[in-house]
Structure 1
Amino acid sequence: MKAAAFDYVRPASLPEALRELSDAKPISGSQSMGPMLNLRLARPSRVIDVSRIADLRSVTASGDFVRVGAAVTHAEIEDGTHELLRHPYLQHVASGIAYRAIRNRGTIGGSLAHADPAADWPLALSALDARLEVAKAGGTRQVRASGFMLGAFTTLLEEGEIITAVLLPKLGPTLRWGYYKLCRKTGEFAHASAAAAFDARSGLARVVLGALDGPPAALDDLARQIAQRGPSAVTEDALAQAVAGAMPNADSIDRSIHAAALQRCLAQALGDAGTTQA
């Protein structure tokens, strides 16, 4: 099937793009919107290509954050193209997204805006407590990555708004992290996933469960216990309780798969400490 007819616009600047967005759909790598257009799940009268806007392609340091333009591709993060993004956590996450052909074009902002519950960046950035910069013709605002996704394919974006950047906390050598997902085969979306980030210097302690029916779920009690007690807090009972609280309507098989992903994620973050008995 082919897409319904639409007008194509490639603005030269971000202000120009924002002026055009009131009755149009933005695209960048088109790895999500492209299939939706072809299947006629989306039928915009106009498409605004933002992939080459300089403001959306840059990576800069700003205070305690690194500002990552929304049109930076997964492959650029994977390859360490930008010095400020050369961190094992970011490169590990990026390298596991779909296939290289998709990573070459797909963008971090596009993934977040599409809001697939099984996608990598909504989960990975929630674990870092990152912020998103969102803009429209009338101004700019910031939102937490953990609260941006409201449900499957549903976000806080209002009419005429786009994600312009991700604001990452600067990641240093003291960050202990884990990221694990279970897929039926390489390149597919995750059936279960989890991310964890602990940094004693900044006080960051987050554990997040992904590939749910809706947005990633922060396991705050578990993260707090691990920050206080270390690996001894990672028991089978603690994992089971955390997973059950995040997905109360799931069956036992689905819960056990998510618990396995969570355990392996925490083993990464805590130095392969493993799970202890309760």
Structure 2
Amino acid sequence: MIPPAFEYARPASIDDAVRTLAEAGEDAKVLAGGQSLLPLLRLRLAFPELVVDIGRIPGLRGVREDGGTLVIGALTTHHDVIADPLVRRHAGLLAAATATVADPAIRHRGTLGGSLAHADPGGDLPAVALTLDAELIAVGPEGRRAIPAREFFVDFLQTALRPDELLVEVRVPKTDESDGWGFHYEKFSRVAQAWAMVGVAALVRREDGHLAEARIGLTNMGATPLRASATEDALTGAGADGVARAAQSAAEGTRPSSDPSASAEYRSHLARVLTRRSVLAAARMG
């Protein structure tokens, strides 16, 4: 289909982009890699009066270290996230989950910041950001502000970003395997490259044969990405024999939808099964 008519702007700097967004108000959409926005435009599910293309703004790509944190530019493509040695060494869960996103063509165009700002609960990376306790940095007319991932996703396709703010970077605390961290991301899809019916991101820290800490992020189990808090609590101090029991509570507090792909009951079942698999793989207990 042909998208509805819209005005187009291509700012040359972050300041220009913020000023453009402030002038447009809620009538503007930001274009990064375009892999989420363009389908919405073509299907006429989005009707912005202005599209603000930030693709050529310098300084929004790449990965660097800042002490115990990785700083990833919002325009860093999925492909570059997967290939970056710093991400692979210090945030393996992010690299592993990003490698499952769609197909190579989309991974070469889509961006980390774009995926998070789109905030589709069926997308893989919002739940991963939540699991990693990431911090998202926005710039607006009043300057920079840091938004914890747990506060960033507020509803279906809605974030805590204000209309005049631009997501510029994602800060991810390091979770090195040398410090006892293990990770795994597993999802179940109806067909290859489709949205996940359910996905589970597991990040665990091993200590003396037990789990000293566990974080479980859930994809497509509600209007936003979620943490399986009851399972996380049950896994603390658990050994291999306790993982299956803890995974039974993975769907507690969730509100999965029913649609032609899967019922809510089936999604809850998948959450329990995939959580068990992911935790055992992350902890190398399976």
TM-score in terms of structure 1 length: 0.89
Superposition deviation, residue 253 in structure 1:
2.7
Query: What SS does the corresponding residue of 1:57 show, helix, strand or coil?
Result: coil
Q: 2:4 is matched by which residue type in structure 1?
A: A
The match for 1:219 is 228
Conserved? CA contact 2:231–2:249, under 8 Å: no
Q: 1:219 is matched by which residue type in structure 2?
A: A
The match for 2:103 is 99
Distance 1:135 1:13 in 2: 12
Q: 1:86 is matched by which residue type in structure 2?
A: R
Identical columns (%): 33
Query: What SS does the corresponding residue of 1:222 show, helix, strand or coil?
Result: helix
Superposition deviation, residue 220 in structure 1:
2.3
Conserved? CA contact 1:179–1:268, under 8 Å: no
The match for 1:239 is 247
The match for 1:276 is none
The match for 2:260 is none
Give the counterpart of 2:146 among 142, 145, 148.
142
Q: 1:196 is matched by which residue type in structure 2?
A: A
Query: What SS does the corresponding residue of 2:39 show, helix, strand or coil?
Result: helix
Superposition deviation, residue 200 in structure 1:
5.7
Q: 2:51 is matched by which residue type in structure 1?
A: V
1:99-248 to 2 correspondences below 5 Å? 99-173=103-177, 174-199=180-205, 205-236=214-245, 238-247=246-255
Distance 1:150 1:26 in 2: 18
Conserved? CA contact 1:123–1:208, under 8 Å: yes
Query: What SS does the corresponding residue of 1:234 show, helix, strand or coil?
Result: helix
Query: What SS does the corresponding residue of 1:195 show, helix, strand or coil?
Result: strand
Q: 1:92 is matched by which residue type in structure 2?
A: A
Query: What SS does the corresponding residue of 2:65 show, helix, strand or coil?
Result: strand
The runs of 5 or more residues in structure 1 that have no matched partner are 274-278
| 1:225-277 Cα distance to aligned partner (Å, 9 max, x none) | 323123232134x322331333488753332122111111112112143xxxx
* CA-based RMSD: 2.0
| 1:18-53 Cα distance to aligned partner (Å, 9 max, x none) | 111121321011111111122222222221111222
Cα 1:171/1:116, change in 2 over 3 Å: same
Query: What SS does the corresponding residue of 1:48 show, helix, strand or coil?
Result: strand
Conserved? CA contact 1:194–1:207, under 8 Å: yes
Distance 1:210 1:130 in 2: 16
Distance 1:127 1:106 in 2: 21
Conserved? CA contact 1:151–1:215, under 8 Å: yes
Conserved? CA contact 1:191–1:211, under 8 Å: yes
Query: What SS does the corresponding residue of 1:113 show, helix, strand or coil?
Result: helix
Distance 2:266 2:230 in 1: 23
Distance 1:204 1:62 in 2: 24
Superposition deviation, residue 206 in structure 1:
1.1
Q: 2:48 is matched by which residue type in structure 1?
A: P
The runs of 5 or more residues in structure 2 that have no matched partner are 258-262
Aligned residues: 269
Superposition deviation, residue 134 in structure 1:
1.3
